[in-house]
Amino acid sequence: MANDPNLDFYSLSVNPTPTEPTEPTDGSPSPEPSPDPETVRAARSTASRVGWGILILCLVWVALSEIIAIVALTLKPEWQTSTVFLSLASMVPLYAVALPVSYLAMRRMPTARPERRIAVDKRLFALLPCAYALMMGGNLLGNTVMGMISAATGYSFSSSLEVSLGMPLWLSALLVVVIAPFFEELIFRKLLIDRLLPLGEFAAVVLTALLFAIFHFNLYQFFYAGLLGALLALIYLRTGSFGLCVAMHASINFLGGILPTYLMELSHYEELLAITADPAMSAEALMEFLSANSVGIFLLFLYLLLMGLLAIVGVVLLIVFRKKLALNRRDGELAPAARNRALFLNPGMIALLSFAVLFTVLTLIASATPL
């Protein structure tokens, strides 16, 4: 790691050099400078091209998934209940076609590589508790929002995660620990941040985090995907390491998805829930079940305990370093109001956000079942 007195490893940021105050001495707020028209046009054009690029990704993904499902289910109607088929019919078009097409659509845009301000080493995995805490907090928020929607409408709504839970564990691990982290980091961190960084760190972090959240197309995952996307964007900005982002993403998917799924299978968790919910079940039968599955139940309990402690550590670290997790402004960067208008009020981004809202609502309606 570079021996730089302005560098704070855990903050992921460079401490700003003190500058002379620019605010008026009478206490009134400084007026925003008039934005340069050429800078505004360039920002709008870049953001619009990114919006169109991600919209292409979504449209190709949805269209191919539907075509594959219609053709395959016409030939093999029994696959309608196959979780393996349903998962592959969605994921193969995404990772084999849609993401590469989106990459090709945006790869020739002007880029700016992040400065490598922090050396990549094992200490960066101290951020893993922060990532896990953000995932847990975002997951809680997503479930709370969906619970409120269910209470207001009288319907329950399924998540795309429920389909993947029925896949063989090795296939789930291949998809969510190997394939998904690589391709999603390639698009949402490396490709997008390199192209949005000329507009400033706010665009690079906030916009890519929002796009990553939208990409999941359900409110269960929206919040934690956005929070994790923001942290991964900061890591990429400060290290310039695509590989580190892939490793962090894979670690989170393993800890939050694959490992608990394996432990629930090992402990026969579904059977345990059924037994404890049955009022006619005797204490002797319950003790017999616990004895027969003691190893799996112990490991599941240990996992829950350790992940709870990991989340607490992550919350503490986020609180301690909250003021240092700051975005730096670049010379010539647009003022916030002009920047936000340029980033979001452009044809590509408006089209993408409109599609995302419509598709998410339709997906919710399609998955709704009466309570």
Helix H, strand E, coil C: the string for 28-80 is: CCCCCCCCCHHHHHHHHHHHHHHHHHHHHHHHHHHHHHHHHHHHHHHHCHHHH
Q: Cβ distance 9 to 127 under 8 Å?
A: no
* pTM for the model: 0.84
Q: Where are the beta strands (DSSP E) in 89-195?
A: 155-157
Which tokens belong to 60?
């190709």
Residue 338: inside a domain, yes or no? no
Number of domains composing the chain: 1
Q: Cβ distance 222 to 176 under 8 Å?
A: no
Residue 121: inside a domain, yes or no? yes
Sign of torsion, CA 196 322 126 260? negative
Q: Where are the beta strands (DSSP E) in the chain?
A: 7-8, 13-14, 155-157, 368-370
Q: Give the 3-state secondary structure of residue 108.
A: coil
- Give, in order, the Cα–Cα distances in Å from 7 to each of 1, 13, 89, 234, 246: 10, 7, 47, 15, 24
Residue 189: inside a domain, yes or no? yes
Residue 55 CA to residue 215 CA, distance in Å, equals 10
> Of 306, 303, 295, whose CA–CA distance to 267 is shortest?
295
Residue identified by tokens 């009466």 is 370
- Structural domain containing residue 90: 36-266+343-370
Residue 251: inside a domain, yes or no? yes
Residue 298 CA to residue 156 CA, distance in Å, equals 32
Sign of torsion, CA 254 255 261 267? positive
The residue count of the chain comes to 371
Q: What is the CA radius of gyration of the chain?
A: 23
Q: What does the pLDDT profile of the chain (371 residues) look like in tens digits? A: 444 434 444 445 444 444 444 455 555 555 666 777 888 898 999 999 999 999 999 999 999 999 998 998 888 888 887 878 888 888 889 999 999 999 988 988 888 888 777 777 777 777 889 999 999 999 999 999 999 999 998 888 877 655 555 678 888 889 899 999 999 999 999 999 999 988 888 889 999 999 999 998 888 899 999 999 999 999 898 888 899 999 999 999 999 889 998 998 888 888 888 877 777 777 787 788 888 888 988 999 999 999 999 999 999 988 887 776 678 777 777 888 888 999 999 999 999 999 999 999 998 888 888 88
Amino acid making up residue 117: R
pLDDT at 193: 93
Residue 5: inside a domain, yes or no? no
Residue 331: inside a domain, yes or no? no
> Of 57, 12, 83, 348, whose CA–CA distance to 183 is shortest?
57
219-239 vs 208-215: helix crossing angle, rounded to 10: 140
CB atoms within 10 A of CB 28: 8
pLDDT at 19: 44
Residue identified by tokens 């017999």 is 288
Q: Where are the beta strands (DSSP E) in 120-209?
A: 155-157
Residue 125: inside a domain, yes or no? yes
240-259 burial, b at 16+ Cβ within 10 Å, e below that, comes to bbbebbbbbbbbbbbbbbbb
Which tokens belong to 138?
């975002």
Residue identified by tokens 């790869």 is 107
Residue 206 CA to residue 144 CA, distance in Å, equals 23
Q: Cβ distance 196 to 46 under 8 Å?
A: yes
- Give, in order, the Cα–Cα distances in Å from 185 to each of 127, 155, 208, 209, 210: 17, 34, 11, 11, 14
